[in-house]
Amino acid sequence: MYTKTYSSYLEPPNSKPENLIRLLRTWAEINTGSRNIEGLEKFQLLIEEAFQPFPATVKTIPLASQEILRPEGRQHFSLGKAVSIIKQTNASMSVLLSIHYDTVYAVDHPFQKCITTDRNNMNGPGVADAKGGLIVLLEALKLFELSPWSDRLGWEALIVPDEEIGSIGSIPLLLEAAKRNDLALVFEPALPDGSLVGSRNGSSVYSAIVKGRAAHAGRDPEKGRNSIHAMAKFIVQMQEAFRPHSGITLNVGEVIGGGAVNVVPDLAYLRFNIRTRNAEDQAIVSKVTEHLTSCLNRMEGFEIEINVDSSRPPKVLDQETIKVLNHFNDCGQDLGIQIQWRHSGGASDANIIGSVGIPTVDGLGVRGGGLHSPDEYVLLDSLSERVKLTALFLMKLASGDFNQSLNVR
């Protein structure tokens, strides 16, 4: 039941919409491309500062470097640091709140500034994905901590620097955090119509090197082993094998190889992304890639080396997650907004967190669109709206006000 009790805790003066918009503009204009370590470090200090006033332990955690196979061989890329904020209580339930602070825009990308295009629309890098979501997370926790129910719920916030490149360094932290908590809230942008995200496709990125043997293309073609031909066949065979399975999509995004056309090329490189809908799809992908790899390795004169650069399993919509989504729907009704949920083809850290089996709701960030492009925008009224939604959810959860209880450990 929504009473005056809750509404009086949803509007303190420091969460005025104009303050949130100003903060979002400042944050979005600090470049935090996943590979911009300097920018990430600068921003990470701001996150630490923002969480300092909370009665919680703020910790910065360095991540192991990311290994990617390139045509020149295995290469290691440094990653930014994760920030963990843990509030411990004697409460029987605790919630994980998570989002990333990296963006897809590199430091030399032309898209670096925010422009207010109309009263309710701001175009800018990461305004929706996901700095808007980070503000929602932060402000909702502030409201919750000022409410009378703050000691009745433990929480942990985990803010990671590498989601846009597959969270490869953050995966162990996300898994540990998920195991410590009873349910998880992820602050990726809401879908364009305002829906939350109940389920997501799985997504894995692979890099591979195919080695053959160089030879003169006219004089000794039979001595050569054409790595590009073998790679092309490998791609087509994957496509054929996945065709009957509508939940699996393959996208070869990068191909490098060869040089002079009178030389049989001895090296080809490819990088590809495979998306899956469920665990069965995942199993098919593993079987097919392993089978094709071993076939190629058995061919005389050829060798293929594959690296999994990142991997996130599909996020499924289970019964417990539906219960939590229904609670969000209740909170939405109290606030006069309709909250629905849908499937999204994109992966997020909710895929990793949800894999440990705790109910996980995603898309709790701002409403917006044009993600991963210079058209990215946020609908400004959604900042306060989504702060209230999550704050109200936390208050009701802490006060035991939901009619359908959650199965907590």
The residues binding Zn ion (CB under 5 A) are 129-130, 188
Residues 6 or more apart from 74 whose CB is under 8 A from it? 67, 68, 307
Query: 399: part of which helix (H) or strand (E)?
Result: helix 381-399
Q: Which is nearer to Zn ion, 104 or 306 (CB)?
A: 104
Q: Which is nearer to Zn ion, 15 or 123 (CB)?
A: 123
CB of 45 to Zn ion, least distance (A): 21
Tell me how far, at minimum, the Cβ of 126 lies from Zn ion, in Å: 8
Reading the block at residue 366, the tokens are 């701002």
The three-class DSSP label of residue 298 is helix
Query: How far from chain centre, in Å, is Cα 330?
Result: 26
Task: Pick the closer one to Zn ion by CB: 56 or 168.
Answer: 168
Q: How far is the CB of 348 from Zn ion (least distance, A)?
A: 6
User: Distance between CA atoms of 392 and 406, rounded to whole angstroms?
Assistant: 17
We find the least distance from the C-beta atom of residue 366 to Zn ion, in angstroms, to be: 11
In angstroms, give the least distance from the CB of 390 to Zn ion. Answer: 17
What 8-state DSSP symbol labels residue 325? H
User: Shortest approach of Zn ion to residue 191 CB, angstroms?
Assistant: 13
* Residue nearer to Zn ion on the CB measure, 139 or 188: 188
Instruction: Report d(CA 49, CA 251) in Å as an integer.
Output: 40
DSSP β-bridge partners for residue 96: 156, 184
Per-residue burial over 298-322, b if 16 or more Cβ lie within 10 Å, else e, is: eeeebebebeebbbbbbbbbeebbe
Nearer Cβ to Zn ion, position 145 or 309? 309
DSSP state at residue 213 = B
Which is nearer to Zn ion, 147 or 273 (by Cβ)? 273
Residue whose beta carbon is closest to Zn ion: 129
